[in-house]
């Protein structure tokens, strides 16, 4: 099968700083591979501290001297809607490049491109409709909240759905009047390079958006440590989040971090079994299993356990693995050979920890590329590494339980707490279990279908803070309380000539 290569690939990927594409100050570059051939297809500029300094200076200048933070919400909203139009106009091209760079199936990449446009539309509408709090003390005082953009936001994004997740941060950061420096993941810089043209065509002022490619340890580290970047929004691994937390601490930066997950899908005996199988297959094998909210631990009530495992394994074997550009493909190639080796190492670990019932290696008909057959382990104990550790690939662990209490103990028995999926037709159990499970987001009888108005974030090792809807507005703005006295000035007076004259502090009846 011929390896598909999109037409019109760039001959190099550069930074975008202050309205211009530029190379690294020192000329540093790194290789970018495509995950089907694992061959270098382009070189990208590798940002260093000097490049981050340039980008931050441009963003700071645009914030303090440019029009963007001072525009009316409606004016910024119009620009954001034009950005959404630009994304929609080239959604097929975006999906093609994203699939080539990440290995995501083309149909799923197209959905991510359209979601990126919707993210901009959502925040374009939200800032126009936004209302802030006002508190009145009749005849005495009015207090109101004045929101202000904060400054330069540093955005660090992952490689699993890069363009969409970039939009999820860029949308609210720009809508609220901040300027940004984006550091995309080094494995997948291709689609991020399209933002510059989309933003220029939409009329975003120069310097408001800046892009620096490079390694996390170099460009990302310099962005986190830059004293003039007050906000860092990061999506990625929990361990990297810990490092960022420590490096940002001396500057007391605002942090929003969406980190790893090992989310449970809990299936009770009274659930709609076929719907639960469909949803939990999709929940771990969509996006190649490279998704933070994947339901990668399936907990099943014992009375239906054998039937569930049998149906699940049979359906997992039918999942179509193949060329990411083929519309029939449901699982494509993992993003990079390093990640492929990591996932395959967990597959080998799992063979000694659980009962392999589907997959377990490379598909026979795909001898090259980062392909892993959807892999299902049953009878996995709670102390197994494949039960406890995030694999971030098409690998799932299934474990039985005997009671609601045991199900909750298993669900909460990991360090992560991002998402949870609960399948039951018992209304009381559904709500009580949802409220007791340690997860930032819970879906009842549903796969991951998000309303953009709701908070997105996790607990425990899965993150810090929330984004989504007004929570994003909260993160990207300072909330200044303004107090206005309406009546007589009402305050104690110190230093009066008559020391015995009563003040408010001497009120004999404080009721």
* Residues tagged active-site: 258, 292
Phi/psi of residue 230, each to 5°? -80, -15
Q: Where are the beta strands (DSSP E) in 362-430?
A: 375-378, 395-401, 419-423
Q: DSSP labels for 428-457? A: HHHHHHHHHS--SEEEESS-S---TTS-B-
CA distances to 26, 38, 351, 468, 470 from 451, rounded to whole Å, are: 44, 36, 38, 9, 12
Q: DSSP labels for 410-425? A: HHH-SS--SEEEEE-S
The span from the CA of 469 to the CA of 127, in Å, is 10
Whose tokens are 């999820």? That residue is 168
Q: To 10 degrees, the CA torsion angle through 452, 233, 446, 278?
A: 130
End-to-end Cα distance, the chain:
85
Those residues whose C-beta lies under 8 Å from the C-beta of residue 249, and which sit 6 or more positions away, are: none
**Maximum distance among all Cα pairs of the chain, rounded to whole angstroms:** 98
The span from the CA of 248 to the CA of 161, in Å, is 25
Q: Angle between the 162-175 and 91-102 helix axes, to the nearest 10 degrees? A: 130
CA pseudo-torsion sign 469, 472, 477, 480: positive
CA distances to 413, 452, 475 from 282, rounded to whole Å, are: 23, 20, 32
The span from the CA of 305 to the CA of 457, in Å, is 31
CA distances to 3, 36, 332, 365, 417 from 322, rounded to whole Å, are: 11, 10, 5, 9, 32
SS (H, E, C) 217-248: HHHHHHHHHCCCCCEEEEECCHHHHHHHHHHH
Tell me, what DSSP letter sits at residue 5?
-
The span from the CA of 302 to the CA of 295, in Å, is 19
Q: To 10 degrees, the CA torsion angle through 502, 504, 506, 509?
A: 120
């Amino acid at each position: 099968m011929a390896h598909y290569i999109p037409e019109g690939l760039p001959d190099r990927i550069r930074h975008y700083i202050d309205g211009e594409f530029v190379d690294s100050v020192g000329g540093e570059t790194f290789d970018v591979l495509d995950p089907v051939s694992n061959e270098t297809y382009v070189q990208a500029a590798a940002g260093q501290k000097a490049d981050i300094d340039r980008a931050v200076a441009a963003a700071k200048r645009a914030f303090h001297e440019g029009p963007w933070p001072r525009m009316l919400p409606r004016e910024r909203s119009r620009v954001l809607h034009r950005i959404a139009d630009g994304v929609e106009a080239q959604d097929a091209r975006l999906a093609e490049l994203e699939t080539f760079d990440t290995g995501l199936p083309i149909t799923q990449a197209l959905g991510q491109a359209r979601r990126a446009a919707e993210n901009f539309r959502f925040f374009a509408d939200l800032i126009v409709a936004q209302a802030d709090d006002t508190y009145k003390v009749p005849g005495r005082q009015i207090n109101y909240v004045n929101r202000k953009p904060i400054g330069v936001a540093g955005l660090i994004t992952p490689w699993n759905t890069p363009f969409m997740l970039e939009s999820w941060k860029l949308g609210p950061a720009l809508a609220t009047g901040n300027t940004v420096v984006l550091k995309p993941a080094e494995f997948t810089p291709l689609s991020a390079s399209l933002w510059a043209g989309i933003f220029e065509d939409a009329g975003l002022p120069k310097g408001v958006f800046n892009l620096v490619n490079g390694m996390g340890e170099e460009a990302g580290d310099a962005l986190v440590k830059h004293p003039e970047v007050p906000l860092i929004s990061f999506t990625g691994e929990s361990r990297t989040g810990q490092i960022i937390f420590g490096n940002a601490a001396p500057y007391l930066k605002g942090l929003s971090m969406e980190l790893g997950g090992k989310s449970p899908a809990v299936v009770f005996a009274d659930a709609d079994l076929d719907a639960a199988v469909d949803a939990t297959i999709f929940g771990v094998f969509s996006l190649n299993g490279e998704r933070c909210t994947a339901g990668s631990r399936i907990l099943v009530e014992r009375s239906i356990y054998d039937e569930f495992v049998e149906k699940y394994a049979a359906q997992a074997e039918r999942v179509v693995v193949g060329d990411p550009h083929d519309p029939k493909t449901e699982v494509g190639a993992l993003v990079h050979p390093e990640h492929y080796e990591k996932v395959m190492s967990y597959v080998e670990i799992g063979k000694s920890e659980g009962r392999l019932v589907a997959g377990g290696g490379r598909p026979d008909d795909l001898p090259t590329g980062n392909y892993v057959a959807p892999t299902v382990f049953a009878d996995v104990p709670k102390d197994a590494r494949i039960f406890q550790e995030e694999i971030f690939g098409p690998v799932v662990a299934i474990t039985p339980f005997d009671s609601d209490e045991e199900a909750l103990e298993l669900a909460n028995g990991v360090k992560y707490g991002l998402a949870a999926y609960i399948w039951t037709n018992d209304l009381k159990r559904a709500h009580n279990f949802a409220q007791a499970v340690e997860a930032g987001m819970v879906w009842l009888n549903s796969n991951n279908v998000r309303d953009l108005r709701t908070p997105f974030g996790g607990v425990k090792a899965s993150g810090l803070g929330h984004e989504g809807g007004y929570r994003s507005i909260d993160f990207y703005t300072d909330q200044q309380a303004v107090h206005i006295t309406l009546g007589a000035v009402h305050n104690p007076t110190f230093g009066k000539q008559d020391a015995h004259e009563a003040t408010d502090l001497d009120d004999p009846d404080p009721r």
